[in-house]
């Protein structure tokens, strides 16, 4: 029996451990329901080699549609012999439908115009929950998730001293006020690399206009009612932090130049010592501000007693600032011209600094925070050039992105370490892009979307994603593909692309071999125990579980230590390498760059239903 909205709200307010887990069902489907006019597919793992009869039952148990399963066969991603139940032909809205195959029956589900409910707004609320430097108030989030401000004042020095490999960092001659911004993930670090793609995704949602604008009073945040769009307010919270991380003019710093990040297993051959060179660091951006040492689980942000330090500037962080600040100049041009001008000045300073220092990489030699090491920043240069051209129209930026190898490279889904796609999206959609450039970019986006559609035919669970191993944050990889599929639909109006976006979200909300919704508060078996230092009810009953709308990183078959394999019960097919456990950070961490595309895709689906 489905919960009423009131009962569901009461259930979501309960701590994770107080909610009884729904048993796994053999018929796997989107646990929130189906769009009236959209595709409707469910999956069954069965040893049967021949097609099976299925029935669609209404709330009274009457058969309203019949069919035969389509046998995909053995599926490497799920490890199952998969049958597909396609009942797209049924287009009557209603509650309490069920599917029946032989003696197996699904949970009841609804069919309606907006079956995903408030997912877009809940996914957007994640960013308010993750804010640093401000109390998270009960009047916006409810008493369960309210907390005092974490790091309310944050005037931090640069890291100085020895790193994990014995390199002696000289630090810098100043402290910076780096308050505000979003905590990155389950930890309480704040990063420009990873913050950049997250910030841009929300900016892109605003820039695209229409459904994505989220006007004033549409979100539950302190700035609601100030006369400016709420999505812009959330964007500015992070953008202000980015601006504070820029190195002051006239600063010279000693940093490693052209020394690639080295990540290896503990006990492996250590890399050679770093060599430090003095550079003009004016206009560069510090990579992150974080705890000098890891905070233990659980630790509420206000209880974090670790020393906060700023980590050295890098070219990648600087280009993340250049790209996002250039986009800031575009989207704030009308509501706040002075702020737009401030952003553009910072963006051009950052671009000049990155051109002057193109090979300053994150080394990953620190504890207390993520490394985000990237030894190839050509994609960040492409992205920043595209954003700066869109903001200024200056020929030098167009020449830079057209000369980049990424201009003609095959487009992939975006990630923090693969940002050229963000630049290509900007070139395609910017109102003042040269026609030939926009045409080239749309062709690249459509070609990528077509490759993703081909991947869908290769998976039993009809997901437009088929890597040999599911990586860390696999759910966000799928959602970033869904964004490109959505854009292909916007450009062509071909329903096959929108159907593939729905297939992606169906997978995230339960149509997968472990019958798991990877979004907290959504579905019969939602994620409840994320790797997070405050939403840690699994470890401390006084702390809450996650609020609704938080996305888990999901299955991860690419980082399987023996300890993780044992924790999840042994070997697993790629889609099955997951357990809802706070300690399994490679599978169940949450992060701003995962919730950003969830918000984007959920809001887009609502608007195009």
Q: What are phi and psi of 540, to 5 degrees?
A: -140, 110
Q: Which tokens hold the place of 290?
A: 């974080």
CA distance 444 to 382: 15
Angle between helices 230-244 and 337-356 (to 10 degrees): 40
Can 187 be counted among the known catalytic residues?
A: yes
**Three-state secondary-structure class, residue 168:** strand
Residue-by-residue DSSP string for 230-296: HHHHHHHHHHHHHHHTBPPTT-EEEEE-S-------TTSPPPPPP-EEEEE-TT-EE-EEEESSPPP
CA-atom Rg of the chain in angstroms: 24
Among the listed residues 379, 380, 506, 580, the single catalytic one is 580
Return the structure tokens found at 291.
Answer: 């705890």
- Given the residues 83, 206, 440, 531, select the one marked as catalytic: 531
Looking at 187, 233, 380, 456, which residue is catalytic? Answer: 187
> Active-site residue 406, yes or no?
no
Cα 40 from chain centroid?
25
Give the start-end residues of each E strand in 440-491: none
413 is catalytic: no
Say whether 330 sits in a helix, a strand or coil. Answer: helix
CA distance 401 to 33: 43
φ, ψ of residue 83 in degrees (nearest 5): -110, 140
Facing residues of 276 across strands?
A: 256
**Strand-pair partners of 291:** 308
Please check whether residue 243 is in contact with residue 342, taking contact to mean a CB–CB distance below 8 angstroms.
yes
Which residue among the candidates 327, 348, 379, 589 is catalytic per the annotation? 589
Pair of tokens at residue 7: 């009962």
User: Which residues does residue 161 pair with via DSSP β-bridges, in sequence order?
Assistant: 169
What amino acid positions are annotated as catalytic residues? 187, 531, 580, 589
């Amino acid at each position: 029996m489905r919960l009423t909205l009131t009962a569901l709200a009461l259930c979501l307010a309960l701590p994770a451990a107080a909610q009884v887990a729904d048993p796994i069902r053999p018929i796997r489907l989107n646990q929130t329901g189906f769009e009236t006019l959209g595709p409707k597919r469910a999956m069954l793992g069965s040893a049967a080699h021949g097609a099976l009869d299925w029935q669609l039952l209404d709330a009274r148990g009457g058969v309203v549609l019949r069919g035969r399963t389509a046998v995909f066969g053995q599926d490497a991603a799920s490890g199952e012999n998969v049958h597909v139940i396609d009942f797209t032909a049924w287009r009557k809205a209603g509650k309490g439908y069920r599917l029946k195959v032989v003696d197996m029956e699904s949970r009841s589900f609804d069919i309606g115009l907006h079956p995903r409910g408030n997912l877009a707004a809940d996914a957007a609320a994640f960013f308010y929950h993750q804010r640093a430097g401000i109390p998270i108030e009960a009047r916006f989030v409810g008493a369960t998730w309210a907390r005092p401000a974490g790091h309310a004042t944050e005037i931090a020095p640069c890291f100085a001293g020895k790193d994990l490999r014995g390199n002696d960092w000289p630090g810098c001659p100043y402290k910076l006020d780096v308050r505000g911004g979003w905590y990155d993930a389950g930890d309480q670090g704040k990063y420009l690399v990873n913050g950049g793609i997250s910030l841009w995704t929300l900016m892109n949602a605003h820039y695209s206009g229409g459904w994505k604008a989220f006007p004033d009073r549409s979100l539950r945040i302190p700035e609601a009612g100030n006369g400016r769009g709420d999505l812009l307010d959330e964007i500015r919270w992070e953008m202000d932090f980015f601006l504070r991380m820029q190195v002051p003019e006239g600063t010279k710093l000693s940093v490693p130049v052209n020394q690639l990040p080295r990540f290896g297993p503990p006990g492996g051959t250590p890399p050679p010592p770093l060599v430090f060179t003095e550079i003009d660091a004016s206009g560069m951006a510090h990579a992150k501000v974080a705890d000098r040492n890891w905070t233990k689980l659980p630790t509420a942000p206000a209880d974090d007693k670790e020393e906060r330090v700023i980590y050295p500037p890098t070219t990648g962080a600087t280009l993340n600032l250049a790209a996002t600040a250039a986009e800031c100049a575009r989207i704030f041009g009308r509501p706040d011209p002075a702020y737009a001008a401030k952003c553009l000045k910072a963006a051009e300073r950052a671009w000049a600094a990155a051109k002057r220092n193109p090979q300053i990489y994150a080394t990953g030699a620190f504890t207390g925070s993520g490394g985000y090491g990237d030894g190839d920043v050509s994609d960040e240069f492409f992205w920043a050039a595209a954003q700066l051209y869109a903001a200024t129209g200056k020929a030098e930026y167009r020449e830079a992105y057209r000369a980049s190898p990424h201009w003609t490279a095959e487009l992939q889904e975006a990630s923090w370490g693969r940002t050229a796609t963000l630049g290509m999206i900007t070139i395609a959609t910017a109102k003042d892009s040269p026609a030939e450039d926009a045409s080239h970019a749309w062709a690249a986006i459509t070609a990528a979307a077509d490759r993703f559609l081909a991947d869908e035919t290769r998976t039993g669970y009809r997901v437009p994603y088929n890597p040999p191993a599911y990586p860390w944050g696999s759910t966000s990889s799928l959602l970033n593909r869904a964004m490109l599929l959505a854009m292909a639909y916007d450009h062509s109006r071909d329903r096959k692309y929108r159907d593939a976006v729905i297939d992606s979200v169906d997978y995230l909300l339960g149509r997968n071999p472990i019958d798991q919704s990877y979004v907290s508060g959504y579905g019969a078996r939602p994620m409840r125990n994320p790797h997070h230092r405050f939403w840690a009810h699994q470890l401390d009953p006084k702390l809450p579980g996650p609020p609704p709308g938080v996305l888990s990183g999901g299955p991860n078959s690419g980082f399987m230590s023996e300890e993780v394999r044992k924790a999840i019960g042994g070997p697993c097919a790629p889609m099955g390498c997951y357990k809802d456990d706070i300690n399994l950070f490679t599978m169940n961490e949450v992060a701003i760059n995962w919730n950003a595309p969830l918000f984007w895709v959920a809001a887009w689906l609502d608007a195009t239903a």
